[in-house]
């Protein structure tokens, strides 16, 4: 069996200009995928993923995930939420669809993360290693799986090559 590479997840440098009187404005940060393995496009599309991202909750506060057209053919089995453990807040986005697979194009927006922005700069850093959950059980970092049963994790090492961090900052 050939090990396929995961796509590259990109959190952008997101610039926003808000007047001080507009603190708490809603922003949509696009999350793109690029360098999609050609085999994933044809014979072994993505069947599930779990992505986790860190940020400064004093600057931005997670509201929800907004699916892009790339995911419109799925059953929209996306779950997302904010988790804080040991004083560190992460948002996790998980998708798994037992019926539909995700066939992607290069540089396509997968979804948007909607935040309330309060001013200042926050890094958007992908969580690539396992971490302790709020219940003490380990939680996995970012991961993609193909269509095989059981799904095989796609190669995403070294993680710096597959998860591009970004930031939210004033323009």
Per-domain boundaries in the chain? 8-170
Higher pLDDT, 89 or 155: 155
Q: Which overall architecture, per CATH, does domain 8-170 show?
A: Sandwich (2.60)
What is the pTM for the complete model shown?
A: 0.82
Check the CA dihedral 32-131-134-121 and report its sign: negative
Q: Would you call 157 helix, strand, or coil by DSSP?
A: coil
On whether the CB atoms of residues 113 and 126 are closer than 8 A, the answer is no
Rounded average pLDDT over 1-29: 75
pLDDT, residue 128, reads 80
Q: For residue 67, which of 102, 34, 110, 32 has the smallest C-alpha distance?
A: 110
Find the length of the chain.
171
Per DSSP, the three-state class of 160 is: helix
The string over 8-43, giving b where at least 16 C-beta atoms fall within 10 Å of a residue's C-beta and e elsewhere, is: bbbbbebebeeeeeeeeeebebbbbbeebbeebeee
pLDDT in tens, 48-102: 788 888 888 889 999 998 888 877 666 556 778 777 766 667 788 877 766 666 7
Residue range 98-115: mean pLDDT, rounded:
79
């Amino acid at each position: 069996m050939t090990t396929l590479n995961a796509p590259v997840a990109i959190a952008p440098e997101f610039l926003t200009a808000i007047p001080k009187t507009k603190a708490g404005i809603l922003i949509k940060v696009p999350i793109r995928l690029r360098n999609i393995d050609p085999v994933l496009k044809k014979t072994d599309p993505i069947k599930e993923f779990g992505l986790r991202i860190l940020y400064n909750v004093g600057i931005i506060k997670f509201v929800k995930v907004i699916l892009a057209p790339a995911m419109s053919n799925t059953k929209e089995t996306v779950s997302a939420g904010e988790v804080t453990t040991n004083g560190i807040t992460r948002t996790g986005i998980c998708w798994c669809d037992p019926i539909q697979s995700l066939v992607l194009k290069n540089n396509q927006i997968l979804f948007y993360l909607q935040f309330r922005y309060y001013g200042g700069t926050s890094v958007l850093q992908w969580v690539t290693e396992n971490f302790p959950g709020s219940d003490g059980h380990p939680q996995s970092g970012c991961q993609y799986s193909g269509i095989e049963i059981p799904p095989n994790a796609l190669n995403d090492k070294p993680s710096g090559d597959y998860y591009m961090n970004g930031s939210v900052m004033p323009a």
